[in-house]
Each structure stands twice: as structure tokens, then as C-alpha cells.
């Protein structure tokens, strides 16, 4: 019985042993297969986890102002590291210099640890033999990187000294807030402004370098040189004039601060070309600061209000429906259109007046009645819309920044557009339509440009290493948006607004400008028996100088507190911008040599000037003043005759008597008086007006006093 049990146990043990042996053989076979057959594959895969070609970021191109100044540039920064176990770093170099290295790091880079603690840390990492990357400093500047690279051990380079400098680039804007939203940025997948629109040009081409992955998921270059060198991005030269941009931004900022507005826009465009010389967008942040929070100039569509009245007037003029001298009844500033009542913005107590005067005072009633009278009939209503389209008011500008909102103009009698009996009168004064500030300015710029519509643009050139490789010239969208007579009358009306109308409070004695004020209600709602208004929008659009326009300017201020009329909020900002441009830009001044030389009046000609004849002749020749010489003597006098001519006549000088020096300069007077032995005392500046001794008196070495003035 015992033997039977023993045999059964041994049998089971043999079975278990056999199974174990089979498993062992299978495992050995698999290991051999992997090692011998698939070994190359798996070794390559393992190696690829630690050694790869890693992309190297290219230096991004610059965004330049029109004078070459930097609006945005890439500054190099470096993450500085140390490989204490670099293959070429010998024990001799390491241990002879580790004390000095620890001192330099603790003293100049990171003082969170003592010199001794840093030394012990570096030695421990060296002895451990595993650590391949120790972070020394993040975001070091180029100068800091150069300084650290000269530390002991580090000065031997990457392989012999374990010094690792990983470059990266940070975008910097030297002018800060100026044109910030226009210049834009790239953040993750968000692309804004010129940075976003011209990303492919600015970005360049990435390079590639073989790197290995050190512990801590840090990629370290295997070689000093890149396998594929990155290609630096190209630069873009913008139309922005830093001086005008600063002027616009400063004026808008002060206006925003004064009126505590929600947001504001100021744009300056060059009339002849459409180049944008300044574009400022300011808004309130959540904590109440004023900053460039959004590009309202192209991304916010607004009801323009009274600044749109010039378009309505041009439609009437284009169709020959009105003359400026025509009479219109303003009904003292209040009129009914169907069941709606329209009022003028300010009380004027006028009944009948001319069309010109109604425009100058920005009468809502006057403009609405004119448009309703001539276009209100069914067969005529579409003509008004056609004219607005003819003026190109229904098209976006095509500016080189993403996010422009298309203008909105209703189609005549469209149910989808909610056309009603009050649509025409309300459209005529800038409601029930919308457009961006830039789109409205483009229209005003065309008026200033004698009807030629220019495409607004922000980029003039693409440059590579300072050389132009592509140019973006000014673009004419439409040669004439209206008849020449219509444009001339529109220019006259806009100038009269400044001379005699709602903008007259800001007219200047130094230069002329033309434009239109605007005050529009925003967030308004029609209630059962009343109307709710959520705020106002103040604007002024115009150009200067009025006779020979160089710049067109628009200012829009949304929801100002206290004052809200365009003439009191937006117009002063416009005026501050144009004042400062006038003071700093020669282009707005008429050249002094463009007109014929004026004939000098006798009182403006030199008269009774006395001195050496040769000197007098030289001065008159230099001033290109015609003269006739009537003496051969050494000294002479200039005499202005009753006409506009000059004569050089004799001044008799006796050698033994006190000479007549009145009218002479000090040099000639001293020469004559002291040569006759006189002791001269001088008072004042200029020419001799008086002398204390009468001319002709015998000279005996007296004291003489001469008074200059």
C-alpha cells in the first residue's frame, strides 16, 4: 500500500517536472528567437526611443514699421544645462575645476544653495554615472549664456565640458501696446493680426538635429552641428508710421480715460495710397485698465449714425435730385414717419432752411425728409440702395488681417432684411445699416481722394536680410465712386461742417480740415410707449488739409460717460491727432517755393543800412535783391527809393573829423571811430542809432558813446 502511494507521488512529480522543463525550453527558444532573429528590429526600436532627429525652431522674421523700426522681433533665450557624465569630460578636468564651477554657479546664477552644497551635488551626480542633464538656468539671455559658457569646465564646450545651451525664441514688441492687436500674435492654434496672416512668411523653415533623450525627458544634441539647418523667416515691412501711431494711441488713450468709454478706435490713412499709418484699438479690461483688447477697427460692425449722412447726400446729388440752395422744412427738429417720431440731436428752433444748412447742423429730420421724399416711392426705393453699392459701401476692404466683418446694407423691400416704411429715413441718418470703422474711413478717404477708392493696406514689402523680395503696391479699387461734381460738392459740405456747422468749435487757424460728426444710439429697444437707449457712440470722420488732403482720420468712441456728442468726444481726439501730425510731418505743409515770390513792399526793404560798400553789395547779391550802385567810395549807404528798388549811395567820411556812423554795424563803427583816436563806449545791440558827438566835430581823442538798437 505504501509503495503504491509512493509511486503515485513520484509520477505526479515527474509530470510537474516535465511541464516545467517544457516551459523552460519554450522560454529559451523564444529568447533565442528574439535575440537572433528579431534582435536587430528590437534594438533599433529601443535606440529610437532615446536617439531621434528633433526639429529645431527657426528664428522668426521681424515685423517692421515703415521706417525700419521693430514692431515685433524674436529674441533668443536659452535653457542652460550641464551633463556631468559627458563621454569626453575626464575626471581630471572635472575634479580639478568642480570647486570653481560650484562657486561661479552659486555666486552668479543660483544662490539658493551654498558653494559647498553645489559642489557636493555635482560630485554626487558625476559619481552616480546616470544623470546626463542638470538644469543650471532657464530662459537665459544671450549675454547671460555667453557669460555662463566661460565658467570652469563649461568653457571646454558640450562634449569636453558638458555645457548644454538649448536655444528658443521669445517674441518681443519694443513699442509695447502700440498697434498690438494689428501686429498680433500666435498662441497655440490661435493666429491673430499680421503675425497670423503672414505666419508662413515669418516662420521660416525648421531644421533638424540628432538628439538623445536624457533622464527627465530632456533632449540633448548628439553633435554640435544640425543635420538640417533652420532657415530664418523673412521680414515684413508695414505701412505703420511709429510717430503717427504714437500720436493716435496717446490721443485716444486720453479720450478713453476722460470719458471712461467701453472701447475706442483711431485710424490714420494716407489719402493718395490707402496706406494705414496708424491704427489704435483701446478697450477696458476686466479690472478697469485701458489696453488693446480687440481689433474693433476691423472686427466690430457699428451703426455709423450721422457720419453716414454724407453718403445719403451724395446719392441725392448723384441723381440730381437736390441743390444745396433748395429749401427744406425742419419742423423745428421733429417729424413723424408713419408711427415713428424722429428728432434732431439738439434743439435749433429752425423751420425752413437750405439743404446746405441742414447738413451743416446735422439735422436728422432734414436728411430723412429729403431721402423719403425722393426715394420713398416703391419704384424709386431701390435706387438709393444701388447708389450706396456704387459707392462701394457694401464691400469689405480686404485688409490683410483676418476677422474683418462685412458691411450690412439692406436689400430694397426685402422681407428677410425686415424692410419697412421707416427703413429709408432711418438708413439715411446711419441706422439699420452697419460697417466697421475702417470701412467707413475708406469711403471718406475716397471723397478726399477726388472719388478714387483705394484699398487700405498694412504691408508694403517682404524683405530677406534687408533686401526687398516682394512688394505690395497701392491698389485702386475703383477709379470714380461718383461724378466729379458730386465729389466736389461733398468736399464742400464736409468743409462747411467745420467752418459753420457741428465741428466749428475745433476749427484751426493753422490748417483746414473737413469731416462729419456722428452721434448714434446703441443697444436701443422699442418698447410699447417709449424707447430704451443703452448708450451712445461718438464719432468723427474726416481728412486734412481740406484743400490738399494728405491724411484721412476716423475716431470712434463707444459708450462714453458724461458727454456723448461726437462734437464733444470724438472731434477733440481727432483734432489732437491732426494737430500733432501737422506739427511733426512736413508733408502736410505747403512748400514755401510753390508760389511766385512776392514783391516786397518798401517798408520790408533794407533802408539806411551803412557800411563798407563791398560788404553791402555781397549781402544784397546773396539775398538776390536788385540794386544800383551810385558811388565808388569805400563806405556807402543803402537807400530804398519810393518804388521797390534799392540804391547804394556815397557816405562821405572825413579823416580828421568825427564820422557819421549812424546806421552802421558795430564793427564798421569801431573801425572808423578808433582810427580817428576816439575812445568808444558801446551800449545795446544791432545798428548804431545814436552817437554822443555830432558828426563833423574835429576829432581830438574824445570819449564817444554810441547806442545800438
User: Do the bridges between strand 531-532 and strand 218-221 make them parallel or antiparallel, or are there none, so unpaired?
Assistant: unpaired
Q: What is the reported pLDDT for 547? A: 94
Q: What is the reported pLDDT for 204? A: 87
Q: Is 312 left (phi over 0), alpha (psi -120 to 50) or beta?
A: alpha
- Please answer whether residues 608 and 637 qualify as being in contact, where contact means their C-beta atoms are separated by less than 8 angstroms: yes
Alpha-helix runs per DSSP H in 37-164? 39-48, 91-104, 115-128, 142-148, 157-161
Q: What is the reported pLDDT for 45? A: 43
Q: Across 83-234, where does the E strand assignment appear?
A: 134-141, 163-172, 185-187, 190-192, 207-214, 218-221
Q: Is 114 left (phi over 0), alpha (psi -120 to 50) or beta?
A: beta
DSSP letter for each residue of 505-530: GG--SS---EEEEEEEEES-EE-SSS
Residue in 663, 602, 666 with CA at minimum distance from that of residue 638: 663
Q: What is the reported pLDDT for 665? A: 86
| Residue whose grid cell is 569636453 | 160
- Give the three cell numbers for residue 218: 530632456
* CA 557/CA 538 separation, integer angstroms: 5
The most distant pair of C-alpha atoms in the chain lies apart, rounded to whole Å, by 175
* CA 341/CA 260 separation, integer angstroms: 31
Q: What is the reported pLDDT for 61? A: 93
Q: Which residues contact 209 (CB under 8 A, 6 or more apart)?
A: 53, 54, 56, 221, 222, 223, 225, 226, 227, 228
For residue range 526-539, what is the model confidence (pLDDT) as tens digits? 655 666 778 999 99
For residue range 455-468, what is the model confidence (pLDDT) as tens digits? 999 999 999 999 99
Name the stretches of the chain with pLDDT < 50.
42, 45-48
Q: Which residues contact 459 (CB under 8 A, 6 or more apart)?
A: 194, 198, 236, 237, 238, 239, 400, 472
Q: What is the reported pLDDT for 133? A: 83
* CA 131/CA 445 separation, integer angstroms: 66
| Residue whose grid cell is 555662463 | 148
* CA 420/CA 389 separation, integer angstroms: 20
Q: What is the reported pLDDT for 206? A: 77
Break the chain down into helix, strand, coil percent, rounded to 5: 35, 25, 40
Amino acid at each position: 500500500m505504501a509503495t503504491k502511494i509512493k509511486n503515485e507521488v513520484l509520477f505526479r512529480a515527474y509530470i510537474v517536472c516535465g511541464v516545467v522543463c517544457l516551459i523552460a525550453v519554450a522560454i529559451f527558444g523564444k529568447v533565442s528567437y528574439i535575440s537572433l532573429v528579431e534582435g536587430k528590429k528590437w534594438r533599433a526600436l529601443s535606440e529610437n526611443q532615446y536617439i531621434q532627429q528633433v526639429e529645431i525652431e527657426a528664428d522668426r522674421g521681424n515685423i517692421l514699421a515703415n521706417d525700419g523700426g521693430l514692431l515685433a522681433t524674436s529674441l533668443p533665450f536659452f535653457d542652460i544645462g550641464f551633463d556631468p557624465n559627458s563621454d569626453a569630460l575626464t575626471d581630471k578636468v572635472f575634479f580639478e575645476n568642480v570647486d570653481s564651477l560650484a562657486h561661479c554657479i552659486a555666486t552668479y546664477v543660483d544662490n539658493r544653495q551654498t558653494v559647498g552644497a553645489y559642489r557636493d551635488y555635482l560630485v554626487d551626480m558625476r559619481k552616480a554615472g546616470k544623470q546626463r542633464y542638470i538644469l543650471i538656468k532657464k530662459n537665459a539671455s544671450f549675454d547671460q549664456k555667453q557669460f555662463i559658457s566661460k565658467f570652469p569646465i563649461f568653457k571646454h564646450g558640450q562634449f569636453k565640458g558638458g555645457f548644454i545651451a538649448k536655444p528658443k525664441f521669445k517674441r518681443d514688441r519694443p513699442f509695447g501696446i502700440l498697434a498690438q492687436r494689428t501686429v498680433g500674435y500666435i498662441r497655440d492654434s490661435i493666429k491673430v493680426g499680421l503675425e497670423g496672416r503672414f505666419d508662413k512668411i515669418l516662420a521660416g523653415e525648421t531644421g533638424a538635429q540628432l538628439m538623445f533623450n536624457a533622464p527627465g525627458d530632456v533632449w540633448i544634441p548628439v553633435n554640435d552641428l544640425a543635420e538640417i539647418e533652420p532657415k530664418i523667416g523673412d521680414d515684413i515691412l508695414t505701412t505703420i508710421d511709429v510717430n503717427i501711431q504714437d500720436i493716435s494711441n496717446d490721443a485716444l488713450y486720453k479720450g478713453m480715460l476722460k470719458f471712461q468709454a467701453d472701447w475706442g478706435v483711431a485710424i490714420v490713412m494716407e489719402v493718395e495710397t490707402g496706406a494705414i499709418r496708424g491704427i489704435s484699438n483701446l478697450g477696458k479690461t476686466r479690472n478697469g485698465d485701458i489696453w488693446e483688447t480687440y481689433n474693433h477697427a476691423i472686427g466690430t460692425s457699428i451703426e455709423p449714425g450721422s457720419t453716414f449722412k454724407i453718403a445719403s447726400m451724395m446719392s441725392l446729388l448723384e441723381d440730381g435730385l437736390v441743390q444745396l440752395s433748395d429749401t427744406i422744412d425742419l419742423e423745428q427738429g421733429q417729424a413723424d414717419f408713419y408711427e415713428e417720431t424722429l428728432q434732431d440731436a439738439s434743439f435749433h428752433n429752425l423751420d425752413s432752411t437750405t439743404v446746405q444748412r441742414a447738413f451743416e447742423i446735422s439735422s436728422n429730420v432734414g436728411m430723412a425728409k429729403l431721402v423719403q421724399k425722393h426715394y420713398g416711392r416703391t419704384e424709386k426705393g431701390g435706387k438709393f440702395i444701388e447708389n450706396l453699392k456704387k459707392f462701394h459701401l457694401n464691400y469689405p476692404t480686404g485688409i490683410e488681417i483676418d476677422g474683418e466683418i462685412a458691411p450690412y446694407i439692406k436689400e430694397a423691400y426685402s422681407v428677410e432684411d425686415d424692410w419697412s416704411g421707416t427703413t429709408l429715413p432711418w438708413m439715411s441718418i446711419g441706422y439699420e445699416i452697419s460697417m466697421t470703422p475702417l470701412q467707413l474711413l475708406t469711403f471718406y478717404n475716397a471723397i478726399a481722394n477726388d472719388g478714387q477708392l483705394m484699398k487700405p493696406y498694412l504691408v508694403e514689402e517682404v524683405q530677406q536680410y534687408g533686401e526687398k523680395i516682394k512688394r505690395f503696391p497701392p491698389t485702386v479699387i475703383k477709379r470714380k465712386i461718383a461724378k466729379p461734381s458730386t465729389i466736389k460738392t461733398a468736399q464742400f459740405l464736409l468743409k462747411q461742417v467745420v467752418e459753420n456747422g457741428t465741428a466749428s468749435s475745433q476749427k484751426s487757424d493753422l490748417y483746414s480740415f473737413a469731416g462729419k460728426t456722428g452721434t448714434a444710439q446703441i443697444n436701443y429697444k422699442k418698447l410699447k410707449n417709449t424707447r430704451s437707449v443703452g448708450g451712445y457712440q461718438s464719432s468723427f470722420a474726416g481728412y486734412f488739409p481740406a484743400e490738399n488732403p494728405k491724411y484721412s482720420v476716423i475716431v470712434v468712441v463707444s459708450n462714453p460717460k458724461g458727454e456723448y456728442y461726437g462734437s464733444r468726444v470724438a472731434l477733440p481726439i481727432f483734432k489732437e491727432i491732426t494737430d500733432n501730425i501737422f506739427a511733426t510731418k512736413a508733408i502736410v505743409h505747403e512748400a514755401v517755393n510753390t508760389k511766385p515770390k512776392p514783391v516786397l513792399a518798401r517798408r520790408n526793404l533794407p533802408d539806411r543800412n551803412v557800411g563798407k560798400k563791398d560788404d553791402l553789395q555781397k549781402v544784397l547779391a546773396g539775398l538776390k535783391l536788385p540794386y544800383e550802385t551810385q558811388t565808388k567810395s569805400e563806405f556807402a549807404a543803402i537807400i530804398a527809393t519810393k518804388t521797390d528798388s534799392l540804391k547804394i549811395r556815397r557816405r562821405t567820411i572825413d579823416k580828421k573829423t568825427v564820422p557819421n556812423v549812424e546806421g552802421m554795424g558795430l564793427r564798421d563803427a569801431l573801425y572808423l571811430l578808433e582810427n580817428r583816436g576816439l575812445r568808444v563806449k558801446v551800449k545795446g545791440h544791432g545798428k548804431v542809432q545814436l552817437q554822443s558827438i555830432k558828426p563833423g566835430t574835429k576829432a581830438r581823442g574824445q570819449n564817444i558813446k554810441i547806442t545800438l538798437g
